[in-house]
Amino acid sequence: MHMNEKGLSEKEIFSYLEHVKSEDTDYYKVLSSMCTRPHKIAVEAHRMFIEANLGDLGLFAGAHRLEREVVMMLGELLHAQSVNAQSAETPSGRPGEGSIYGYLTTGGTESNIQAVRGMKNLATAGKKIVGTPNIVIPESAHFSFDKVANMMGIEVKRALLDSEFKVDIVSVKSLIDANTIGLVGIAGTTEFGQIDPIEKLSKLALDNELFLHIDAAFGGFVIPFLENPQPFDFKVPGVTSIAIDPHKMGLSTIPSGALLFRSPSFLDSLRVSTPYLTTKAQFTLTGTRSGASAAATYAVMKHLGREGYRKNVQYCMQLTEKLVKGARKLGFEPLIEPIMNVVALRVPNPDLVREQLLKRFGWNVSITRNPRSLRLVLMPHNTARDIEEFLQDLKKITAE
Ligand code: 0PR
């Protein structure tokens, strides 16, 4: 592929793009993804703000307003106390008083990186750390923490899981030492959809004066809308930061993530001066960043409201129950009773079953690492009929 000297016509370009797009899935028969088709109102709003750059807030005051409003709505959802939203940068460069502190990221990976970067900056400014600072995370943490370990000059220690795939508090405790700066808990693990014992982690964090980051990239738009939500957010006193992704169960467009902090000192610790911009400081990891995703997230959150998200979660949970019930009839048990719309199914030879499901029937499923099992994420793009068909296909493959 080379760049031609003379430009091609729009028609030529789009005929090629149509052709290439046909290689993408349209989410039909996808049971492996934590993303889904964005809500159409999010797509419209995204288009409307397509050129907005939140890296230069002075030029894009409107998009910035939408970012602040989204941060405020997310703060409310996650029980942050105050009411005036404050996004990552303000014209004065200083976070305001009585605010919800946070900004829109590109997703869980950036949020996790920034949360740990904030911990490191604050801890090394305050504490006498001799040697390499470390954090303790669950064994089940998303691989974005491998990137944290690789880029941040801190040690990442992994605590064992209990029989229900929640982090084992005794193991976390045993890994804390004089160089530990923070803990991580997960509210909606990537592989099992499990929620760590956040209140116990909170107590450990408070007793040892540690930061506690909650990765609710997936669960943030699920747990608040479950029938019996478990405590995972700022209501739990030791929680210092939360990652939540509108581009997963929030039904917004990619790239829409968010990182919220309990206190302004966290944002301040991420500050970099931006001498020649229209604003004095930036607290974000990326410089140029999408205002379109702020508009998309604003639009879908306002349009759906709590009721809309509750219905969305109810729908996905009904699919989850249907799948588990059907799988049990075939003799396959889930590794845990699903907490949210993620199912890990114990089937014989999961790697082979996965391969056959794709090759023979076109189903995209994934696999958990330890133990190896069939991982299925039930998303708004799936239907009850799909689940019935999937179960029939699973039966055919496993009966042979
Ligand atoms: N934290 C948790 C708990 C996650 O599940 C994920 C992503 C992240 C952080 C990182 O988020 P970003 O990828 O937005 O930076 N979990 C999904 C996964 O790894 C991401 C995904 C989504 C993968 C859709 C595939 C896919 O089709 O499975």
pLDDT tens digits, 27-65? 999 999 999 999 999 999 999 999 999 999 889 999 999
pLDDT in tens, 257-310: 999 999 888 888 999 998 887 778 889 999 999 999 999 999 999 999 999 999
Domain with CATH 3.40.640.10 in the chain: 40-299
Q: For 81-85, 222-226, 329-333, 344-348, which range has the lowest pLDDT when averaged over its residues?
A: 81-85
- Is residue 168 lining ligand 1, measured as CB closer than 6 Å? no
Q: What is the pLDDT of residue 68?
A: 95
**Residue located nearest, by CA, to atom 27 of ligand 1:** 33
CA of 35 to the centre of ligand 1 (A): 8
Q: Which residue's structure tokens are 């307003």? A: 65
pLDDT in tens, 157-174: 999 999 999 999 999 999
**Residue located nearest, by CA, to atom 4 of ligand 1:** 190
The per-residue b/e assignment along 20-41, b for 16 or more CB within 10 angstroms, e otherwise, is eeeeeeebebbbbebbbebbeb
- pLDDT exceeds 50 at position 337: yes
- pLDDT exceeds 70 at position 97: no
Q: Which residue's structure tokens are 């795939």? A: 165
Residue 81: pLDDT band (50, 70, 90) is confident
- Is residue 166 lining ligand 1, measured as CB closer than 6 Å? no
Which residues have CB under 8 Å from 180's CB, separation 6+? Answer: 133, 134, 135, 136, 157, 208, 210
CA of 279 to the centre of ligand 1 (A): 32
Q: What is the pLDDT of residue 279?
A: 79
Ligand 1: residue of 109, 142, 223, 363 to mutate (most ligand atoms within 8 A of CB) is: 142
Which is more confident, 98 or 397?
397
Instruction: Read off the tokens for 340.
Output: 């949210």
Domain with CATH 3.90.1150.10 in the chain: 8-37+304-397
ipTM for the whole complex: 0.98
Q: Give the number of C-alpha atoms closer than 13 A to the C-alpha of residue 86, restricted to the C-beta side.
A: 28
Read off φ and ψ for residue 180, nearest 5 degrees: -75, 130
Classify domain 40-299 at the CATH class level. Answer: alpha beta
- Is residue 34 lining ligand 1, measured as CB closer than 6 Å? yes
- Is residue 340 lining ligand 1, measured as CB closer than 6 Å? no
When pLDDT is averaged across residues 389-397 and rounded to a whole number, the result is 98
Ligand 1: residue of 27, 32, 34, 253 to mutate (most ligand atoms within 8 A of CB) is: 34
Read off φ and ψ for residue 23, nearest 5 degrees: -80, -20
Q: Which of 306, 303, 285, 309 is nearest to 104 (CA)?
A: 285
When pLDDT is averaged across residues 226-238 and rounded to a whole number, the result is 96
CA of 191 to the centre of ligand 1 (A): 10
CA–CA distance, 310 with 302 (Å, rounded to integer): 14
Ligand 1: residue of 190, 215, 241, 381 to mutate (most ligand atoms within 8 A of CB) is: 190
- Percent above pLDDT 70 for the chain: 95
Does the domain formed by 8-37+304-397 have CATH 3.90.1300.10?
A: no
- Percent above pLDDT 90 for the chain: 88
User: The dihedral of CA 24, 27, 28, 32: what is its sign?
Assistant: positive
Which residues have CB under 8 Å from 9's CB, separation 6+? Answer: none
When pLDDT is averaged across residues 62-81 and rounded to a whole number, the result is 95
Contact 205, 238 (CB under 8 A): yes
- pLDDT exceeds 90 at position 221: yes
CA–CA distance, 215 with 232 (Å, rounded to integer): 10
Q: What is the pLDDT of residue 91?
A: 41
**What is residue 359's three-state secondary structure?**
helix
**Residue located nearest, by CA, to atom 17 of ligand 1:** 34
**What is residue 134's three-state secondary structure?**
strand
CA–CA distance, 21 with 2 (Å, rounded to integer): 20
- pLDDT exceeds 80 at position 99: no
- Residue 267 has a CB neighbour count (10 Å cut-off) of 27
CA of 33 to the centre of ligand 1 (A): 8
**Residue located nearest, by CA, to atom 8 of ligand 1:** 108
- Is residue 366 lining ligand 1, measured as CB closer than 6 Å? no
Q: What is the pLDDT of residue 82?
A: 52
- Is residue 35 lining ligand 1, measured as CB closer than 6 Å? yes
Cα 81 to its chain centre, rounded Å, is: 22
